[in-house]
Each structure stands twice: as C-alpha cells, then as structure tokens.
Structure 1
C-alpha cells in the first residue's frame, strides 16, 4: 500500500467516526462529472490528493473543526461550498484590490470568524494556508498552516494541529509567497 493510499484509508476511517461541527452525517463522495464541473468553474485542476478526498471520502463533512467544505453545494450549517467561496473571494479582491486573493488558493475549511484553511492548488507542494483577516491587514493575514495537504491531514488524524487545545501555543510562519502570488503583472 502506498503512503498516499494509507493516508486516504486513515482519513476515511476517521471521517466515518468523527463529525465536524454542524454535520450530522458524512455526505456521499462527488462523482467525476461534479469534480470536472468544479474544475471547469475554477479554471484549474484540484491537486490529486484533494480530488481523491472529494471522490472517495465525501463531499465535505470531515476534517478538523467545521470540516472540509463541500465542493459545489452548500454545507448543512449554511457554509458556502469551496468553489463558491473561492469565486466570492476573487470577486471581492477585484472590488477591493487592497485585499487580494491569490489565484488558485482554494478555501477548503472554515474556522469561523472569517478564517479559512486554503489549499494552494498552483504549488507542487500543495501547502495548506491559513487566511486570518482579523489582524486587519492583508500582509498579516496569510500563514502556512501545513507544508502540504498530506501534513495537514496527518495533523488532524494525530491530533497535533494548531487548533487542538493542547497545541494553542503553536506559531505559524507567515506565507512568504503572498506578495509574489498577488502582485499585479508588470507591463513590458
């Protein structure tokens, strides 16, 4: 069994026994057509592990705290779907350029208080970023939650994420690529 397959098996086992806040059951996984529709709407492909989570585990409803957002449909607690939230964040950034939203950074889990765990779908490492806008400045709103989606999922399974009561003192590094990924293209 590959490391990726082992991780998916562990996530699946945890997803079947643990309900995030607001979820009464684990939704059915999405089908390939739904994934293709989501990727067409986004304009980019999901990283393979994230796609497998939606295709194999469920359409959201698992993971830490409020859980992974559904891909295209609203969550039971009224949270928007990941695609809907991404498109809204990108539209808001066009209206207010002082709060840019990086292309390809997909919100996958809501933490409350406008905070989101996001996957950088354009990075080969697939880091999970924390968007925490409550500091009031976009330069101080982005942190590296985990160096990869794999690490983020393992932290949830192992109970070692920053959101666990025993880990409240963990510090996250600022996302160094924020300015690079949100800079306007230069004219030649």
Structure 2
C-alpha cells in the first residue's frame, strides 16, 4: 500500500467517525465526470490527492472545522461549493484590484469569518494556504498552512493542526508568492 493509499485510508476512517459543524452525514463521493466538469469550470486540474478525496471519501463534509467544501454543489450548511467560491473570489478580485485572488488557489474549507483553507493547485505538493483577510490588509492575508495537502490531512487525522494546538501566537509564515502570483495572473 502506497503512502497516499495509507493516508486516504486514515482520512476515510476519521471522515466516517466525525462530522464537521453543519454536516449531519458524510456525502457520497463524486464521480469522475463531476471532477472533469469542475476542472473545466476552474480552468486547471485538481491535484491528484485532492481529486481522490472527492472521488473516494465524499463530496465535502469531512476535515477540520467546517470540513471540506463540496466540489460543485452547495453544502447542507449553506456553504458554497469550492468551484463556485473560487470563481466568485476571482471575479471579486477583478472588481477590487486591492484584493486579487491568485489563479489556481482553490478554497477547500471555510474556517468562518471569511477565512479559508486553500490548495495551491499550481504547486507540486498542493501547498495548503490560509486566507485570513480580517486584519484588512491583502498583503498580510495569506499564510502557508502546510507545505503539502498530505501534511494538512495528516495534521487533521492526528489532531496536530494549528487549529488544534494554537495558543496566543499565530504560528504560520506569510505566503510570499501572493503578490507575484496575482501580478502574473491579472485578468482584464
């Protein structure tokens, strides 16, 4: 069994036993056609591990805090789907150039208060970023949560994520690629 297979088995076990806020049950996984439609709408492919989460475990409804967003359809808790949220964020960034949304950065989990865990679908390991806009400064709204989606999932399964162990200090480092990525990907 590969390392990813082992991780998926552990995530599946925890997903069956825990419900994030607002979810009463684990949704059925999506089919390959749904992933294909999502990728067409996004204009980029999902990292393989992220696609496997949706294809094998469920269409959202598991993970830390409010759990993974559904891929294309809204959640029972009223959350927008990941694709819908991404497209809305990109459009909002076009309207307000002070708050651009980087291309390929897919929101996957809502933390509340406009904060999102996001996967950088352009990074080789699918870096997980935290978007925390509440200080009101776009230059200080992006942080590296974990260098890889696999690390983020391990932290959730093991109860070692920043949200589990956070004290008064915010332990994440800023995502220094924010301005570079948004400048390179400005859409007229």
Normalising by structure 2, what TM-score?
Answer: 0.96
2:146 aligned with 1:149: no
What's the RMSD between the two structures over aligned residues? 1.2
- In the TM superposition, what whole-angstrom CA distance separates every residue of 1:131-176 from its partner, at most 9, and x where no partner exists? 0000101000000001100000000001011111x33345100001
The equivalent of 1:106 in structure 2 is 106
Distance 1:60 1:154 in 2: 17
* 1:4-153 mapped onto 2 (5 Å cutoff): 4-153=4-153
The Cα shift of 1:39 comes to 0.4
Q: Secondary structure at the match of 2:163?
A: coil
Gaps of 5+ in 2: none
Distance 1:18 1:47 in 2: 24
The Cα shift of 1:44 comes to 0.4
Q: In the alignment, is the contact (CA less than 8 A) between 2:106 and 2:119 conserved in 1?
A: yes
Distance 1:156 1:125 in 2: 17
Count of matched residue pairs: 185
**Range with bigger deviation, 69-78 or 168-177:** 168-177
In structure 2, relative to structure 1, the CA distance for the partners of 1:179 and 1:24 (3 Å cut) is same
The equivalent of 2:166 in structure 1 is 167
The Cα shift of 1:177 comes to 0.8
The Cα shift of 1:179 comes to 1.4
Q: In the alignment, is the contact (CA less than 8 A) between 2:60 and 2:71 conserved in 1?
A: yes
Q: In the alignment, is the contact (CA less than 8 A) between 2:119 and 2:127 conserved in 1?
A: yes
Q: In the alignment, is the contact (CA less than 8 A) between 1:127 and 1:144 conserved in 2?
A: yes
Distance 1:111 1:87 in 2: 19
In structure 2, relative to structure 1, the CA distance for the partners of 1:177 and 1:22 (3 Å cut) is same
In structure 2, relative to structure 1, the CA distance for the partners of 1:185 and 1:159 (3 Å cut) is closer
Q: Secondary structure at the match of 1:76?
A: coil
Distance 1:185 1:103 in 2: 6
Gaps of 5+ in 1: none
The Cα shift of 1:67 comes to 0.1
